[in-house]
A and B are shown apart, each in its own frame.
Chain A
């Protein structure tokens, strides 16, 4: 099953809509609730990142019988040093993002903790792609 969602720059009101929709789908498919939580927490953090740091992007979700594959691809400033950004507490978030309860430098580490595979690629001035996979078993 393939799903696509558009993420709009600065659209904090709708941040989490894609994750919420994926949560409903996985619940309908009777995926283990603890696995559902891991999937949606990781996807939500990625979605918030795309809205907070980039100029919008896309969320692509593929659900197979045994796993979910998620790609959050943004058009944005990119991440100059991915290793730095992966460390807890490292953030470049604007005050507006912090006002929303995010921007403490926990997004990428939270994704890492919840998924089975994480791949972050980024080109400065072009954008960032976060690819994640979670096995259902």
Chain B
């Protein structure tokens, strides 16, 4: 039997004048909003392009292989942290601890590798154990973060701030706060090896692979969809049967694991495990994610945006150095871009809700 249905439930075109109090989206407004949405997704790519152009004009050296290698290598640690951070931020959380986890895991795995070498262990095996230690330790710290956040219902900001503070001091306690230089040769090789005719560092390749895998997980799998759902409507996600607590623990565990991997990449990069590695990196990672269009309120963000955001930060550093400006200006510029990105995001939201 055909049913006559309320016009509020039919396409906007058929809405009679004087529709419901919320009003209906007219086709013209929808088209205009779509345009805002599309720009919103791509404006940041334009910023990156503009930066390449400006730095390129000021310092043509930017377009050399050496410059590219520097920039991309510099981006590795931020990218790995930002990947995990993207998931965390999309759930509506934040992980302030990942820079500290990077430094801590790097040092602990350095100590383990050093002592294994001292007892004449096979160097390849030592390297593998070093990686395993870093990843497992990172995963464990992330798990503890997630556990405290979900079981004790503490705000992610507080929990990860605590982890940052506690773990942040640890690298200086491990090995008496000294750098560890006695590492397996494979670590140094990993840091300097290149592929594709010397255009891509092995560490960059590893970060890129992690990025692609996690990007697909975020945008193409059930895991990713639920990550968005939790950030978008936590209560609704619970009602729909999603195990929100388990999912969040997983998200923080992955973030910690990636921080462990980043710790190994930094160690490989310098062929040294250093206690200062990763300090304040979490802020750059969060900045990269936010510049990439993620909302700190959760529910929104893209892996592509995070990649672009990471490269904007990396390019600021190498670009400013090439231009001959003190590298510390990078922090000033990053700060401005973060605020601008969030402000623009808010404007978009307000436009969309109007």
Binding between chains A and B = no
Residues of A in contact with B (beta carbons under 8 Å apart) = none
Interface residues of B (CB under 8 A from A): none
